[in-house]
Amino acid sequence: MSSRFSGLQQLGRALMLPIAVLPIAGLLLRLGQPDLLGWAAMAAAGDAIFSNLGLLFAVGVGVGLARENNGAAGLAALVGFVVTTRAVETLMAIPASVTAQLVGPARDLAVAAFKTRELAKLSVPVGLLSGIIAGTSYNRFSNVTLPSYLSFFGGRRLVPIISGIVGLALAAVLGYAWPILERGMDTTSNAILGAGPIGLFAYGVLNRILIVTGLHHILNNFAWFIVGDYHGATGDLRRFFAGDPSAGGFMSGFFPVMMFGLPGACLAMYHTARPERRAATAGLLLSLGLTAFLTGVTEPVEFTFMFLAPVLYALHAIATGLSMVIMNACGVRLGFSFSAGLFDYVLNFSHAQRPLLLVPIGAAYFALYYVVFRVCIVRLNLATPGREADDGPDAAPAVLSADGRADAFVVALGGAGNLVEVEACTTRLRLVLVDNQAIDEAALRRLGALGVLRAGAQGLQVVLGPEADQVAGNIRDSVKHRAPAAAPGVKLAATATAAAAAVPAVAADPAVAAVAAGNRGGDAAQATALLAALGGRANLLDVEQCAGRILIRAARLDAFDEQALKGLGIRAIARTGDNTVQLLISHGIEAGVEPLRRLLAAV
């Protein structure tokens, strides 16, 4: 169950990569219209992105799911997408009604138009599936070693081949079963769109609740890019920009909440802060409120009360659902390419229906949130920003450079040896740690974290706001180049005594000795010591190196001497399967990896 949940979280994170392209697409498409800049080339550039969303999702999800975000997975996803769509186009049956009483060029044009329209419906689902196939295939097969006569096609080169083969199988299913699938998709879309207020309310509530887990991106992608059809454009967002007058129901309701409601909550938290802390709190809450109002990025605000007052967050989720219903009942149709903030509201004002009604509805939501939050904070004595218990004078956080802050983050997260994966979505660091209990939450909050979420024993999400992706990059650079020490309580260092003791036994293996004789200097010794700490040559099935880590498949993981490995320069050990493990390595040990692989190849 936990592995499936973790997989869904990874998919939610991966979806943010292609979605991040949409703001520039919406900007180009809108600015190029005749009522603004009137530059057709700019509008065409924006439309090109919306017209190829399936391809963008394929490449983005593939790279996002792949280990180390390797670009080979993006190429594999592209191969899978092209193979699937072209094969489906060939296999797709043409209804007799499409070509009735048509002959020659007219018939060909009708067939081409039908296939183009049907493939447009299929584009995003196929893109998502192609990306998932490519990303998981990369993680599973990128280290596979083939026999020598096929070795050129091994490793990463094998992944696009697998994606193409799986894509062909997927095309066979979609091509022959398309009439059934199309009816199923149309029935589902009509059921959702026909659910009216109940469907919109459920979507709004679930959207806010799923933010806790980061799975709301999956729900949003279904509503914004798949549900409904307007001249080949599918999904609420795409239909809105294609001119569908009924589109916008799954977007309009966010505007009153994000532009008005949550800023009202920020004002309530400011007014209820302790007088001596009000000035210090003002900067934080002003920043959070403006971010929500201008851009529609709300997670930093929501995490200030999500866990502190779950009842308050439940009311917020219900208010979001009600906003969906109210905006729809009032005939308001608003859209966005990024989120429900002022920038998107102004940019798409002329495309919207009854957009000025947002002002009175938004004002009512501002008042509602302000009153509810202020009453609940005071009556329930909630420790919102500025009302925390006084635990004594804390040292003011130093103003750090980007590098200094990244180093501080590494230490607060348990040290470089505790980090296995460092990724980010729009507002969160998404981490895999050796031990997520080894972090210093107080230090993380001093560095700007607004919330911390644990998933299992290794998963961790740190809510930072829109700077999350930049911070993640700085942390990766810090681990790679500076590797600060661990926070207290995290074991990082050990001696190589056990490995040294085992080296003579391993070196006595004639095959190992023969290969080691061809490797002069310390590299061979390093490799022999590694081999001993990993349980000997018979225990290792495959070894690969990429981006600061050794990827190992072994017969028995319990044969590893973890203390000896750490003493040899292994910074952390992460088990990724029943017989697979990743070793995070320091620079000093990298030279021993290739000799180690040669030792394994010895027969």
Q: What is the pLDDT of residue 575?
A: 76
Kindly indicate the confidence band of residue 489, based on its pLDDT and cuts at 50, 70 and 90.
very low
Residues 6+ apart with CB under 8 A from 438: 414, 418, 486, 487, 489, 490
Q: What is the pLDDT of residue 277?
A: 84
Intrachain domains 402-481 and 497-601 with the same fold: yes
On the question of pLDDT at 10 being above 50, the answer is yes
List, in sequence order, every residue forming a beta bridge with 573; answer none if it has no partner: 583
- Per the CB < 8 A criterion, the answer to whether 472 and 402 are in contact is no
Residues 6+ apart with CB under 8 A from 211: 299, 302, 306
The CATH class, in words, for 497-601 is: alpha beta
Question: Using one digit for the tens of pLDDT, what is the confidence trace for 114-166?
Answer: 888 888 888 888 999 999 999 999 988 888 888 888 888 888 889 999 999 99
- Per the CB < 8 A criterion, the answer to whether 350 and 29 are in contact is no
Q: What is the pLDDT of residue 229?
A: 84
Q: What is the pLDDT of residue 262?
A: 95
CA dist., res. 452 & res. 222, Å (int):
27
Question: Using one digit for the tens of pLDDT, what is the confidence trace for 391-419?
Answer: 443 444 445 677 788 888 988 998 887 88
- Per the CB < 8 A criterion, the answer to whether 537 and 552 are in contact is no
Kindly indicate the confidence band of residue 334, based on its pLDDT and cuts at 50, 70 and 90.
very high
The set of long-range contacts for 314-317, using a CB threshold of 8 Å and a minimum separation of 24, is 315/372, 316/208, 316/257, 316/261, 316/265, 316/369, 317/204, 317/205, 317/208, 317/209
The arithmetic mean of pLDDT across residues 313-330, rounded, is: 95
| 3-class SS shares of the chain: helix, strand, coil, % to 5 | 65, 10, 25
- Per the CB < 8 A criterion, the answer to whether 338 and 22 are in contact is yes
**Is CATH 3.90.1660.10 the classification given to domain 402-481?**
no
What backbone torsions phi and psi does residue 205 show, to the nearest 5 degrees? -65, -50
Kindly indicate the confidence band of residue 487, based on its pLDDT and cuts at 50, 70 and 90.
very low
| Percent of the chain residues topping a pLDDT of 70 | 83
Kindly indicate the confidence band of residue 593, based on its pLDDT and cuts at 50, 70 and 90.
low
Kindly indicate the confidence band of residue 594, based on its pLDDT and cuts at 50, 70 and 90.
low
Kindly indicate the confidence band of residue 591, based on its pLDDT and cuts at 50, 70 and 90.
low
Question: Using one digit for the tens of pLDDT, what is the confidence trace for 214-225?
Answer: 678 778 888 888
Q: What is the pLDDT of residue 494?
A: 35
- Per the CB < 8 A criterion, the answer to whether 410 and 475 are in contact is yes
Q: What is the pLDDT of residue 485?
A: 47
On the question of pLDDT at 294 being above 80, the answer is yes
**Six-digit token string for 488:** 């207290």
**Six-digit token string for 316:** 């917020």
Q: What is the pLDDT of residue 3?
A: 56
Sorted by where each begins, the domain ranges of the chain are 2-196+216-225+232-237, 254-380, 402-481, 497-601
Task: Please give the positions annotated as active site.
Answer: 425
CA dist., res. 13 & res. 15, Å (int):
5
Average pLDDT of the chain, as a whole number: 81
